[in-house]
Structure 1
Amino acid sequence: MKEKNREVISGLLMFLVDILMLLASIGGVVWGIIKTNTEPSPLSIASIIGGAVLFVVWCIFTGGFFTLQPNEAAVLILFGEYKGTVRKPGWHFANPFYTKKKISLRSRNLNGDKLKVNDEAGNPIEIAAVIVWRVENTFEAVFDVENYIDYVKVQSESAIRHIAGMYPYDITDQTHNISLRGSADEVSEALKKELQERLGKAGVIVEEARLSHLAYSPEIAAAMLQRQQASAIIAARQKIVEGAVGMVRMALDKLNEDGIVELDEERKAAMVSNLLVVLCGERSTQPVINTGTLHN
């Protein structure tokens, strides 16, 4: 079975009927008592009994009123049988014997706890996510799972653990294109898709899923920080060397083009060595002035 819309009666209209029923029951009892005291008859006795029965019916009748706010629904159940769902906000009246289970259709935030899991490389990490969800199908939310709120919490934690194990924390080689730290949009989209597959049977729509916390576990955080620093230093050195080689080539080409000085291969090698030391060194170099000839 799937969710089906249920039309109900306006609460204001049935309130007027309810008032008339109450007045009729009181009037019948009072009239019967007065007639019994003055001139007892079967009609007066019947009026008292009828008024009493009508009052009992009125008491049961009042249980049929209920209200719904915007983005709220009521699932109607009669003795264990699903009768439909009311989504229209306002004051309504339905069968007094219906069980009216209200469900909020508003968007909700699930701020997950920090979970300690292993990424694809086996490194322990801490991860958490914020999930925005809402109920779309009230029948599935009420009857297909025991408690749809607890179901969302448990399945969300399971999905986050699964997604964390599919990707490395960071890209350390060329075998991976997506990482948890560097590909936030791709990971969030994968998490949203994973959650929708898991929560769809509970009638839940996942509107958004984002990682709210991502870090290495404390026991390996220091070592991973050193590795990141080493990677950054290597990348910076590589950039410096590439720039220095280009500057040396430009200097040699310019000297040769303008004919300022002619250098043999040995002098070129010495010049390249000196320029690379100057350009790639971490500290500033101290100049040495040559007061002799070029070859001294």
Structure 2
Amino acid sequence: MSTTTSPTPDPEGRERTGPADGQAPRPTRLIQNEATTEIPVHLLFRDDPDPAPVPLRPAVVGSRRGTGEQPRFRRPVPAPARPVPEVDPGLAERPGRVLPGTVGVLAGACGTAGCVLTSWWAGVLPPLAVEALWLPAYAGAGLGLSQWAAYAGAGALGLLGFGGLARGRTGRAWVLGMFGRYRGTVRRTGLMWVNPLVLRRRVDVRLRHWRSEPMPAADANGVALRVVLLVVWRVRDTARAVLGIADHETYLRECVEAALARVPVETPGGARRSVEAAGEALTRLVARETEPVGLEVFSVLPARVEYAPEVAAAMHRRSIAALDAQHRASVLTSVVDSVEDTVTRLTMRGLVELDDYERKVLVRDLTVAFCAGRREPAS
């Protein structure tokens, strides 16, 4: 007797296929994943009151089989760049106000002449000075309030005139300040007049080079070194170099030491290209650190590189051993080539007929002879 099956909906709306005469239904609908593993439908919708926590792996997502998808890796986050120190952003070099030196000379001369005339007016000028200055004879009005006021004005004018005279030199600059405030920079040369009430600081703006004392450093393998550096630099912004930091020369020295601690230096006797690469890296670092304070660095080059005293003897022995091994290898290569060339020529020209044993003996004797000849001192 045959039974017919017909799809019947379940309470959740899904269709089931089973016998029509009331027999137990049999789940036959399946879902297949990419690995062709059969999973019953009812397992996908199982209610679990306390689901187990699923461990997450955020670093790498594996590829799916059969999809051609490649594993996805997280991109490394670049380390933030080291911030460059900043000084007062409003502090920048600007020209200071000065007058030609002629103005100061004239003011001083007028003040001196005023004092002389006041003395003649008061009658305190000696007769010889009156005759020398071609002044008319005058008995004098005495030292009164008017005379003292004239003395004060003429003296102040003379002090301001002569006291403000300054001489500008090539390669030198004056940084002017008054009551703690920056008043400008003077780069002029020759005689000039500067307000005598301002504070003047002289700065060398010429191109300078500094040869450092031996500084501690290390190579790529961490071997301790002593390096002497040659730094070529100059003051570009006098306001920041003088007022932005306490001492710009000390700051430059400390920046060079800090850069040398971060850049590996080639060991003594290394390639010249490596030394130049280390110099370029040092120059970039030092120039970047000193630019905010008004210094311009052109080059930082290792002038002398040597091992530190605590490792100098060991590294010297190591260098000698390496040279000796290199020499032995070259001698052995030369001897083997000579023996091979000799045996080949004897065999190819038919001078001797050798079996394996005789060939080995000949090679041994020739090797010993050539090595003994290499070790003999040259006369």
Give the shorter-chain TM-score range: 0.7 to 0.9
Q: Does 1:247 align with 2:338?
A: yes
Distance change (3 Å), C-alpha of 1:89 and 1:180: farther
Distance change (3 Å), C-alpha of 1:33 and 1:200: same
SS state at 2:196 partner: coil
2:190 equivalent in structure 1 = 90
Distance change (3 Å), C-alpha of 1:52 and 1:5: closer
- Deviation string, structure 1 residues 183-213 (Cα, Å, up to 9, x no partner): 4333333333332222223322334434344
SS state at 2:105 partner: helix
Distance change (3 Å), C-alpha of 1:71 and 1:199: same
Provide the TM-score with structure 1 as the length reference: 0.77
1:1-296 equivalences under 5 Å are: 1-6=91-96, 8-28=98-118, 30-31=120-121, 45-46=145-146, 48-163=148-263, 166-167=264-265, 169=267, 183-281=274-372, 283=375
**Residues 280, 300 of structure 2: 8 Å contact kept:** yes
Deviation at residue 69 of structure 1 after TM alignment: 1.7
- Deviation string, structure 1 residues 21-79 (Cα, Å, up to 9, x no partner): 32124324542669x98779xxx854652442232243234332111221111112233
**Residues 106, 161 of structure 2: 8 Å contact kept:** no
Q: Output the CA distance in 2 between the equivalents of 1:106 and 1:190.
A: 24
**Residues 32, 46 of structure 1: 8 Å contact kept:** no
**Residues 131, 209 of structure 1: 8 Å contact kept:** yes
- Deviation string, structure 1 residues 218-256 (Cα, Å, up to 9, x no partner): 333222222111111111122122222322232233223
2:16 equivalent in structure 1 = none
**Residues 180, 187 of structure 1: 8 Å contact kept:** no
Unaligned runs of 5+ in 1: 172-178, 285-296
**Residues 32, 48 of structure 1: 8 Å contact kept:** no
**Identity of matched residues, %:** 24
**Residues 72, 105 of structure 1: 8 Å contact kept:** yes
Q: Output the CA distance in 1 between the equivalents of 2:301 and 2:327.
A: 32
**Residues 104, 162 of structure 2: 8 Å contact kept:** no
Q: Output the CA distance in 2 between the equivalents of 1:197 and 1:115.
A: 20
Q: CA RMSD in A?
A: 3.1
- Deviation string, structure 1 residues 123-162 (Cα, Å, up to 9, x no partner): 2333332333322221121122111122122222323333
Q: Output the CA distance in 1 between the equivalents of 2:254 and 2:200.
A: 27
